[in-house]
Amino acid sequence: MVLTQSEAKRGMQTRLVAVWQWARDKVRNARLEVKFILIASLIVLALMFVLGLWTTKSIEKAIMKGAGSVGAAYLQTFVEPLISEEDIRTKSLSPEVKAKLDQLLGDSPLGQHVREIKIWNPDASLFYSTAGRKVDREQVFDELKRALTGEVVVSRTMISKHAYSGEERHAEYIEVYAPLVRDNAGKVVLVGEFYERPDYLLAEIAGAWRSTLMIVLLVSVPMLALLYMIVRSGSRLIDDQHTAIRASLRHALELSNQNRRLRLEAERARQEAGKLNEKILDQIGSDLHDGPIQVLTLVKLRLSDMKPSLGGGDTVAVPVEGIGKLLRLVTVVLDEIRNISSGLVLPELDNISLNETILLAVRRHTDLTGNRVAIKGALDVDPSRGHLNICVYRFIQEALINAHRHAPGNVQQLRYGMRRNRIVIAIADIGSPPKAPALAPQRIRLGKLMQKRRIRAFGGKVRTIRRSNGTLVIVVLPLE
């Protein structure tokens, strides 16, 4: 398939655009110090180029000016004396003069510099050229006009003014136009043109380029390296700060999540506490109703059964046996109420250690039930932890009572100790397997619920493990 020229051009354009976009994305995503070094290098390159251009232009100007005065002096000193008035009138040079002019361009040191001499008439026709007459008549050009007014004009052969030979144009000679011969009135009648080799000019320009490049490189490379290091350390600092900001943001998010969790937990605990309070009130109410109120009802019945004594008056005759029964009933009521209230408050735990609290709970249980509990363990904890004491006491009391009540014949064991700044207490009953809970709808089961709630309030955890030969209850309580 043959691509048309416009299609090929369009393909090239798309490729260029793709390369440009790729480079732009690369630079945009590059690190700060890489961006800096790229841009700074571009600026230094541009600076190098501008400085080089400026220096070479200045040198070229100076050299051309020098060449102008040398050329004018050369023409006036060596060429002008050779041309006689006769030559001007006949508009041609005698062979002797031509030979002399050719000699001037020969092997002499000056001749090495000067390549050609042309002599122009004011009408832009060539009076004489050492390279042979190539043109007869030209348009009057600007440089010639200026030379005719007495000015020395310097230019280069690659800027076209009149017809040049291929060699003249290619060698890019420096050309100097200067007034050569004036008439008596001072009017310029012949203009000399002088072609000089540009070698020394080109050498100077190349040298200037080289030294400008060297100077700019010598100054800018260390400066760029230093700046690069500064920018790189700044960029690293920014990176470190980014990382720190990200870490603290993550931390803040974690904290906010934790806060939310805690808030939900607190809300749940509050609701649970409300429900539990209701249950406890229920329990106290039913304990009072089923115990003391029943007995007091009995006492009231007995009292109302009492009749006034036969003798009349305000006295009541009560048999001794009746009083004894009443006294027993009142004692039972008092005991029950005392039991209920002793279950609510525990002032004796305030000033004892955790170790003593555990031992006290076990001792009381043994006193009440007659069960012996095998204890093993030791704790060395600061004694001033009244609330923790109550929590531990209630936990042990409930666990032991449960074992006594729900697994009567089992051997009871208690182990405790510290592990990684946490108190661990394990209560087990060993013997027959736990029975399925008896259906007793009138009784609210509060024990384990209360246990869990108390332990959770201290940041701890309870686990009940039902095994084939009994039940194991473990609590882990952090000390902080």
Ligand X SMILES: Nc1ncnc2c1ncn2[C@@H]1O[C@H](COP(=O)(O)OP(=O)(O)OP(=O)(O)O)[C@@H](O)[C@H]1O
Interface with Mg ion by CB under 5 A: which residues?
Answer: 402, 447
Rounded distance, CA 169 to CA 158, Å? Answer: 5
User: What is the gyration radius of the CA atoms in the chain, in angstroms?
Assistant: 61
Q: What is the DSSP string of 216-256?
A: HHHHHHHHHHHHHHHHHHHHHHHHHHHHHHHHHHHHHHHHH
Q: Which of 65, 134, 445, 461 binds ligand X (CB under 6 A)?
A: 445
- Distance (Å) of CA 446 to CA 373, 414, 439: 23, 22, 15
Out of Mg ion, ligand X, none, what residue 293 binds, judged by CB under 5 to 8 A for its kind, is: none
Q: In the complex, which residue's CB is closest to Mg ion? A: 447
Any idea what DSSP says for residue 439?
A: -
The nearest distance, CB 395 to ligand X, in angstroms, is: 11
Q: Least distance in Å: CB of 373 to ligand X? A: 13
Cβ nearer to ligand X, comparing 52 with 434? 434
Token pair listed for 469? 């030969």
* Nearest distance from C-beta of residue 372 to Mg ion, angstroms: 20
Stretch that binds ligand X, among 175-183, 198-206, 228-236, 403-411 (CB under 6 A): 403-411
Give the SS3 label for residue 354: helix
Residue closer to ligand X (CB basis): 390 or 430: 430
Could you tell me the smallest distance in angstroms from the CB atom of residue 326 to Mg ion?
34
Residue type (1 letter), 390: I
Alpha helix (H) ranges present in 345-415?
Answer: 354-369, 386-406
447 contributes a contact to ligand X by CB under 6 A: yes
**Which does residue 146 bind out of ligand X, Mg ion, none, counting CB within 5 to 8 angstroms by kind?**
none
Residue 279 interacts with which of Mg ion, ligand X, none, CB < 5 to 8 Å by class:
none
Residue type, 453: R
Q: At what angle do helices 5-29 and 32-74 cross, to 10 degrees?
A: 120
Interface with ligand X, residue 446, by CB under 6 A: yes
In angstroms, the CA 440 to CA 404 distance is 18
Please state, in angstroms and rounded to a whole number, the distance separating the CA atoms of residues 427 and 396.
8
Using the structure block, give the residue that is written with the tokens 């299609």: 7
Taking CB under 6 A as the rule, does residue 403 contact ligand X?
yes
Binder of residue 406, out of ligand X, Mg ion, none (CB less than 5 to 8 A by kind)? ligand X
Region near ligand X per CB under 6 A, out of 88-96, 218-226, 357-365, 399-407: 399-407
- Which one-letter DSSP state was computed for residue 162? S
The residue within the footprint of ligand X, chosen from 35, 302, 406, 415 (CB under 6 A), is: 406
Q: How far is CA 102 from CA 54, 99, 114, 117, 426, in A?
A: 38, 5, 11, 9, 129
349 binds ligand X (CB under 6 A): no
Residue 401 Cβ, how far from Mg ion at the closest point, in Å? 6
User: Binding to ligand X by residue 429, rule CB under 6 A?
Assistant: yes
Residues in the chain: 480
Residue 371 touches ligand X, criterion: CB under 6 A: no
> Residue 256: CB partners within 8 Å, gap ≥ 6?
none
| Among residues 81, 166, 186, 437, the one that binds ligand X under rule CB under 6 A | 437
Q: How far is the CB of 398 from Mg ion (least distance, A)?
A: 6
Contact residues for ligand X (CB under 6 A)? 402-403, 405-407, 429, 434, 437, 445-448, 471
